[in-house]
Structure 1
Amino acid sequence: MSLSKQLYIIISIIFILIFTGNFIISVKNTKEYLEIESITKAQDTATSLGMSLKTLLKDKYDPEIGSIINAIANRGFYKEIRLENSFFNIQDSDLIAASKDLDNSKWKVSNVLIDERIGKLEVIGTNDLEKELLALEDGNIKENLSKEETKKTYDFIANDSYNHVKNVTFSFTATNENGKTINTSANLNVDKTLVQVSRDEKFDYVPQWFIHMIPINLQEQSSEISNGWQTTAIIYVSANAGDAYAKLYEQAKNAIVYALVAFVISMLILFVFVQYLLKPLKRIEKLANSIAVGKFETIDELPWTTEIKTVALAMNDMSRKIEAIIDKLNTNLENLTKKLSCDELTQLDLRQNFETDMKDMFIQKNTGYVFIIKIFELANFAKNHTNKEINSFIKKFALILSTTKLNEDSKIMAYRFFGSEFAIIAKDFTDKDAKEYSLKLQKRFEELANEYIKKDIVHIGATPFNPIGTIPQILQSANEAYEKATLIGSNEIFIEEHTTSARAMEEWKELIFDIVDNSKFNLKYIGNATTLNTTSNDIIMQEAFASIKDKDNLDIPIGTFVSIAERYGKIIDFDKKIITKVINNILINKISHDISINLSIDSISNTGFILWLEKTIDEHKAIAKQLVFSVTAYAVAKDVEKFKFFADEMHEHGAKVIIKRFESKFIPLNSIKDFNLDYIRLAREYTNNVTNDSSKQSFIEAIVDLTNLLNIKLFAENVQEDEDIETIKKLHVYAASR
């Protein structure tokens, strides 16, 4: 996850935590405030109403009482306003009147009872006291009052759980003046409510989930109304929670809207800030990626943030140091390459360079001549001269080969194979040029012979370059010419003439077209490459090799086939068919390791071929990483820019790229970092007999260090000897094929 995303997530989490905490606290405080405000207002209203109704309660059923309470309730702030009598009195006459079992006789009530679960009765007074007071005043009255019945008054007190019971059954015993006794009951309405006005709680736009989530508890408030020392009534007021919910919901909604707006604005500001903050980091990332692919740049515009500036300076320092290390490695490799490819005594290129240049002749479709030159009887000469004299003679001999030119534009390259054997490649020479050049060489060698008083010093054989032949065939022809020169005489020359090919070019053309168009070739998988520094012997890469035969079922050298196919424009079609067969083979046989596919420079330089290849890779994404497209070092050297483009395109589509037969002569070592490579496969000359050659070991060790720095895996090609395998394993080469 990118740093910017992490910052956005962290800031968002912090913002949400802060907002959530503030929101909860704000809503809680607002809720408590609204509850207190509503309860206080309800209490104030109850007190005020109690004072207003006090004078009217002489008649508790006065209609003006209801008018006043309705006027207050209509304001809508209250859920309920209720005026209740402070007590409920029952007299004997009430019981007699409510009983269905008693007639109009005079009855005396006794043993009044109710269900104890509902409440209790208290006798609060009789007319006995009144009688005694009147009797004191007037004896006659006393006599009359004594004849009257004693009447009782009861106070009904309901239990808490039956506070809202309206009808209560009273059991009692009634006795009339005739002495008749009846056990009966009376059902009386005991509701103490005098006036009650209720309003529904309305939540017009407050969602139900909000009400359930945040309960508001508004307790009923009351005020007692007294008449002297006695409480005559109680006024109850309940606040309407709808108003409180509306205010609370509005406040919560505004808080959320504000938070969202603040969050969006904050994130926009953060985005601008993070982009500005991370801009230096992106430059550092770009520098790191550049270093990874071998481009050692530096950051010129240093960031102002101290920590990032320190990292940028460290990256600049690392880039310079790695570049210095690679430059040093390149210098060492160049020196080692020169030592491996040049003869120490004569400073002429060795045979491996001759073969490389011959390959280049095939690739470039050059014409010319190949000369084989040998010092005659060097062993006998050495018997009669000191080592210093022998070395001086060989140096002068080699100097003639390297400095003799037909003209200033002559493209002549001289080589020392070993001992007394030398060779020359003369590019673009005609038959006439070859003869004139041979005569110049002969003249100078005769001068050297006179200097050393040696009559027979050299013989020269020459053969024309055959673009559809092979290197061994051309060398064999040149050696045959040399043998013929030795038969002619001292310091003589023999030049082979151009011969007609075994097949006419038209026959070659017909054969090539038939093979490519009809896919008349087989694929073999050779060069099983395994890693060297692990215990696993699993194959990690094979090379797809085309086996091609002519009409006589004889093998056609692949180099000859490719050269002629390039001449007649069939090499691109051939490469396409190879790729298609490889992909099908991977899919059918479920191959899990990489397969390298050789491509010609004509193919990787062709835009149409690259587009076809990209489409083909995209159609087989699952195996794209197993396709390793291989190009020889001398083919890369022919058009470096096109190879770079090809390598970049292949990596964009998930495939890999390898340079095979790598030789520093074709690709300068300081140019490796410019290529987007996955693998490099060394030419076999660097690993052949490496155990006994310290120069080769030093070269491999240096190139291993270089490729490790550039994140490129190094392969060794066609290593035959077990001891050579062990040596390159100790040098930490990634893998090798045998």
Structure 2
Amino acid sequence: MTLRQQFSLLTGLLVIILLAGNLLVMVMNGRDYFQQQLNARAYDAATSLALSMSQVAADDEVQLTRLMDVLFDRGFFAEIELQRVDNEPIYRRSRDTAGDLPAPRWFMHWVGLDMIPAEADVTRQWQRLGTVRIISHSDFAYRDLWAMVRAELIWFAWVLVVSLVLLQILLGWLFRPLARVERQALAICERQWQVQTEIPRPRELRRMVLAMNKMVQKLQSIFTEQSAMTEQLRAESFNDSVSGLLNRRGFDQRLQHILQRGEEHSGVLMLLQLQNLAELNQAQGRQSVDDVLHLLGAELLRCLQEFPAAFSGRRSGSDFALYIPCADQAQGDTLLQQMYSQLVTSVLSRRKDLVFHLGGVFLQGIQDDPVQALSRADAALRQAQRSPEGRAQLYRSDNSSGVQEWTAGEWRELLTGVLEAGALQLQFLPVISNRNRRLLQFEVFSRIVWQGETLSAARFWPMVEQHQLAARYDATIVAQVLALLEQHAPQESIRYCINISPASVLDEQFHQRLSELFRAAPQLATHIALEVPESSLAGIESALARLAIQLKPFGVTLGVDQVGTGSMAFAYLQRLPLDYIRIDGSFNRGLHQAQDHRFFIQSMVQIAHNLDLLILGEGIEEADDVAVLRQTGVDGMSGYFFSRPLAALADAHAWQLPADDV
């Protein structure tokens, strides 16, 4: 029962009790008054009748009867009786009618008027002739009392209704601050820090609202301080303060995770070196060099915005490194030349007397040695420095891997053919709950099966985005997952996490397509989770918020993947309606040997749990890392330590964590 209902009930009971007491007193007083008046009237009538009969001869029965009839016919008396001394009594009595009662029987029984007989002696001279006995009729009293009660009840009912209406208006005005406080509290749960500007006048409500505002400001301050501390830790540990890019450690860590995580990778590693930075330092000073490095870092970040999974870093004073996912060596060479052209026409223009070279190596496979990869990229850089005709060179080797390469047109034909043929193959990687060691989620991976060859997303996805097919591919994956769930009923509370492209988030037709898919399968939609990489949030935040609002009625959850790799402040965690975040695997690899990684994850766990978000870790391959990650308090984890991706959904549903790993 709500507080308003309790107030209404108590007020209604109070009014009813007051009115009932007032009615009871009125009825009792009315009864006593009518009873007194009726008895007094009977006494007066008896006295008057006795006096009249005293003037009539005792044997004149007709005259005596006539006097009694005149008084009785008025209807005010129930009984008139003359008891003569020497003869039979003469009496007149009213009859009780069966219908048309003056009042309900229960009322008459409850009121119970007590009519006392009035007596008077009939005398002549000094001789007593008889006794007159009169009882007043109570019908008039009952009728008048009942009319009074009915009128009072009607009046009381109107008073009660009007009182309750006015009470509701008053409570609505008084509870308005409480409703705002409730919305304020719910907004805190939704990671929104609302401060009430309308302060109520009543002292108690005013104190409550001011206390809530103070609490909101305090919570926001705590979250801001905690986020700033975590961001500072990330910046100091993994970012270069001058260029704004990753530092050597941060770049090598992410590169190692990509090349050695056991999943196929495909991309181009580039090394950039400024030749005359030392001369610029001597000629113009350190500040000028820092300005150049800052501008170069900003330009590299801008150039990599169209590649969500790309990253760059400063390895030393004049050496920079970049990694951009690509489909094959031909695309890698194209990206290398485009990067050189972009830089030479912007921040590293020849007019600024800055000479630079680019060297790159195309990397593709399951496992690659980061040291060897950097060595080959460095060899290409040296080759570019010695080459008189160009300053960007891709590493060439005699190794013939047998990997087929296609032109841009062939890639487009292949990808559209896959969409039309439905040749997408899905794999499912279990995510284990840290609390009860049971299944929490499945990460969904996609593969292309074409002409007997299986292509991983690392190979074909860069071309999907280049040919603007990301929205179609993401929608196809969602539709295929829903179709599989129709064939194999999903387990209760298990989510299937699908990573969608930033380009899809920006596509309004993709939003409509998702709504159509989920509207057709509303029960299965609650098992779907969509996630985007953190590095792409800067350009899609508003579109992602619109998509989350659109999908909320279907029960679809939203998450952020690769947390820790982006450059955005963690304030987005409270702005977006997220349900979970997933720490990038580069922070989990070698966690037992990296104290700063552990502190970063623990800080993220505190931030996520303060915002009621699940926090998950991925890329776990070593038992030591599992033990340390569990101690940080994450809600779930995944990686090849627990299982490799499962090719069939039926196998995924039947999968169980080995007893040794529980």
2:381 and 2:536 mapped to 1: Cα distance? 38
Moved more, 676-685 or 252-261: 252-261
Alignment of 1:158-169 (within 5 A): none
Higher CA-based Rg: 1
Q: Structure 1 residue 224: deviation in Å?
A: 4.5
Pairing partner for 1:198 from 68, 78, 94? 94
1:43 and 1:551 mapped to 2: Cα distance? 124
2:412 and 2:165 mapped to 1: Cα distance? 69
Contact 2:273 2:320 in 1 (8 A): yes
The answer for the alignment partner of 1:584 in structure 2 is 486
Pairing partner for 1:246 from 143, 156, 178? 143
Contact 1:222 1:237 in 2 (8 A): yes
Alignment of 1:164-243 (within 5 A): 192-200=88-96, 208=104, 211=107, 214-219=110-115, 221-227=117-123, 230=128, 232-241=130-139, 243=140
Pairing partner for 1:329 from 226, 242, 257? 226
Q: Structure 1 residue 274: deviation in Å?
A: 2.4
Pair 1:570-2:472 in alignment: yes
The answer for the alignment partner of 1:104 in structure 2 is none
Pair 1:371-2:277 in alignment: no
Pair 1:695-2:601 in alignment: no
Contact 2:31 2:113 in 1 (8 A): no
Contact 2:475 2:514 in 1 (8 A): no
The answer for the alignment partner of 2:79 in structure 1 is 81
Instruction: Render the CA deviation track for 1:498-541: whole Å, top value 9, x for unaligned.
Output: 99973455554455445445544454442323033xxx333233
Alignment of 1:429-440 (within 5 A): 431=337, 434=340
Contact 2:384 2:392 in 1 (8 A): no
Q: What is the SS of the residue equivalent to 1:320? A: helix
Q: Structure 1 residue 6: deviation in Å?
A: 3.5
Alignment of 1:78-117 (within 5 A): 78=77, 80-85=78-83
Pair 1:704-2:610 in alignment: no
Aligned AA (1:681): R
The answer for the alignment partner of 2:642 in structure 1 is none
Q: Structure 1 residue 5: deviation in Å?
A: 3.6
CA 1:34–1:578 in structure 2 vs 1: closer, same or farther (change >3 Å)?
farther
Contact 1:203 1:246 in 2 (8 A): no
Contact 1:571 1:600 in 2 (8 A): no
Aligned AA (2:632): L
Q: Structure 1 residue 577: deviation in Å?
A: 0.6
TM-score, structure 2 length as denominator? 0.72
Q: Structure 1 residue 58: deviation in Å?
A: 0.6
Q: Structure 1 residue 87: deviation in Å?
A: 6.5
The answer for the alignment partner of 2:650 in structure 1 is none
Q: What is the SS of the residue equivalent to 1:541? A: strand
The answer for the alignment partner of 2:399 in structure 1 is none
CA 1:212–1:560 in structure 2 vs 1: closer, same or farther (change >3 Å)?
farther
Pairing partner for 2:568 from 644, 655, 667? 667
The answer for the alignment partner of 1:338 in structure 2 is 235
Aligned AA (1:728): L
Pair 1:632-2:533 in alignment: yes
Contact 2:271 2:360 in 1 (8 A): yes
1:485 and 1:664 mapped to 2: Cα distance? 27
1:34 and 1:562 mapped to 2: Cα distance? 102
Contact 1:461 1:478 in 2 (8 A): no
2:58 and 2:246 mapped to 1: Cα distance? 140
Alignment of 1:263-302 (within 5 A): 263-302=160-199
Aligned AA (1:16): I
CA 1:50–1:686 in structure 2 vs 1: closer, same or farther (change >3 Å)?
farther
Q: Structure 1 residue 205: deviation in Å?
A: 8.6
1:355 and 1:617 mapped to 2: Cα distance? 39
Q: Which sections of structure 2, spanning at least 5 residues, go unmatched?
A: 258-266, 275-285, 305-310, 325-331, 397-401, 640-662
Q: What is the SS of the residue equivalent to 2:204? A: helix
Moved more, 710-719 or 216-225: 216-225
Pairing partner for 1:305 from 202, 210, 232? 202
Instruction: Render the CA deviation track for 1:351-398: whole Å, top value 9, x for unaligned.
Output: 765898999xxxxxxxx97424799xxxxxxxxxxxxxxxxxxx9xx9
The answer for the alignment partner of 2:645 in structure 1 is none
The answer for the alignment partner of 2:13 in structure 1 is 13
Q: What is the SS of the residue equivalent to 2:61? A: coil
Contact 1:459 1:482 in 2 (8 A): no
Q: Structure 1 residue 487: deviation in Å?
A: 9.5
Contact 1:597 1:628 in 2 (8 A): yes
Q: Structure 1 residue 275: deviation in Å?
A: 3.0
Pairing partner for 1:598 from 499, 506, 529? 499
Q: What is the SS of the residue equivalent to 1:698? A: helix
Q: Structure 1 residue 296: deviation in Å?
A: 3.3
Q: Structure 1 residue 640: deviation in Å?
A: 0.8
The answer for the alignment partner of 1:65 in structure 2 is 64
The answer for the alignment partner of 2:260 in structure 1 is none
Pairing partner for 1:531 from 434, 446, 463? 434
Q: Structure 1 residue 702: deviation in Å?
A: 1.9
2:299 and 2:431 mapped to 1: Cα distance? 48
1:436 and 1:236 mapped to 2: Cα distance? 125
Contact 1:461 1:480 in 2 (8 A): no
CA 1:286–1:84 in structure 2 vs 1: closer, same or farther (change >3 Å)?
same
1:417 and 1:585 mapped to 2: Cα distance? 51
2:206 and 2:404 mapped to 1: Cα distance? 70
2:403 and 2:367 mapped to 1: Cα distance? 18
Contact 1:531 1:540 in 2 (8 A): no
2:52 and 2:519 mapped to 1: Cα distance? 92
Contact 1:575 1:599 in 2 (8 A): no
Pair 1:415-2:322 in alignment: no
How many residues end up aligned between the 2 structures? 584
The answer for the alignment partner of 1:109 in structure 2 is none
Q: Structure 1 residue 664: deviation in Å?
A: 5.7
Q: Structure 1 residue 661: deviation in Å?
A: 1.7
CA 1:12–1:233 in structure 2 vs 1: closer, same or farther (change >3 Å)?
closer
1:680 and 1:208 mapped to 2: Cα distance? 75
2:226 and 2:586 mapped to 1: Cα distance? 20
CA 1:12–1:417 in structure 2 vs 1: closer, same or farther (change >3 Å)?
farther
1:209 and 1:707 mapped to 2: Cα distance? 73
Contact 2:39 2:118 in 1 (8 A): no
Moved more, 548-557 or 320-329: 548-557
The answer for the alignment partner of 1:131 in structure 2 is none
Aligned AA (2:270): F
Aligned AA (1:700): I
2:463 and 2:501 mapped to 1: Cα distance? 10
CA 1:400–1:204 in structure 2 vs 1: closer, same or farther (change >3 Å)?
closer
TM-score, structure 1 length as denominator? 0.65
Aligned AA (1:737): S
1:614 and 1:44 mapped to 2: Cα distance? 93
The answer for the alignment partner of 1:657 in structure 2 is 558
CA 1:316–1:501 in structure 2 vs 1: closer, same or farther (change >3 Å)?
same
Alignment of 1:607-618 (within 5 A): 607-611=508-512, 613-614=514-515
Q: Which sections of structure 1, spanning at least 5 residues, go unmatched?
A: 90-191, 360-367, 376-394, 449-457
2:528 and 2:57 mapped to 1: Cα distance? 105
CA 1:563–1:459 in structure 2 vs 1: closer, same or farther (change >3 Å)?
closer
Q: What is the SS of the residue equivalent to 1:669? A: coil
Contact 1:225 1:234 in 2 (8 A): yes
Q: Structure 1 residue 575: deviation in Å?
A: 4.6
Contact 2:361 2:395 in 1 (8 A): yes
1:206 and 1:216 mapped to 2: Cα distance? 13
Contact 2:76 2:136 in 1 (8 A): no
Q: What is the SS of the residue equivalent to 1:214? A: helix
Instruction: Render the CA deviation track for 1:300-325: whole Å, top value 9, x for unaligned.
Output: 44322222222223223222322222
